[in-house]
Structure 1
C-alpha cells in the first residue's frame, strides 16, 4: 500500500498510454467521467484497457462485480460508457427508492504509484 493511502481505501484505476497516466478513477462515477473524456483524447488507450480486461479486474477489486460482469468482453469504449451510464442510472434509482444517496467523486489528491 502506498505510504499516503489511508487504511481500507482501494487503489484507483490508472488509465495509461505508453507508461503515462492519462486518467484516474477512484469509483464508478469517476470511471464514467474518464471514459467519456478519454474517448475524445486517447480512444486507443481505452480500447487497450477494455480488451486486456484491466477495467473489469479493477471493478471486481473495488467490489463492483455486477458492473464487471456487464463489461466482460466489451472492447468498444462507447459501448462500455453506455453500460457504465446505465449501471449508474439503475443504481441511483435503486438507492433513491431505499432512501440512500449516491456518493459523488472524491476530490482529494494523494500520491500513489500507478500499477
Structure 2
C-alpha cells in the first residue's frame, strides 16, 4: 500500500490492529515522540499524545468509551476525535492521523 505524504512526514507501522484489544489503549515510542493509540469498543482507532495535558498522566492507562478517554490521574475527559477537553479547562491533546492498511496494520503519520 502506498501513501502520498507531504514532505517531512513519516509513516510508522504499529502492527496489526488486533494487537490492541477493543476498549483499550497502548503507548508507542516513535523516535522522540510518545503516542497513545486507542481502539474503541466499536473498533475505531485514534491516536493522541501519550501524556495528559494537565498532569502528564499516562492516557493509554485511562478508561475509554464513547470516543473519549478519561485520564487515570484526575478523571478529566478528552474527545479522542479532536483532542479537546470535555467539561474542564485542560489544553487540548495533540492528535495524529491513523490509517489501517489492506492487511489490517495500523499506520500512523507524524
TM-score when normalising by structure 2:
0.32
More strand by share: 2
More helix by share: 1
The structure with the largest alpha-carbon Rg is 1
Kindly indicate whether structure 1 or structure 2 has the higher relative contact order, using CA contacts under 8 Å at least 6 residues apart: 1
TM-score when normalising by structure 1:
0.31
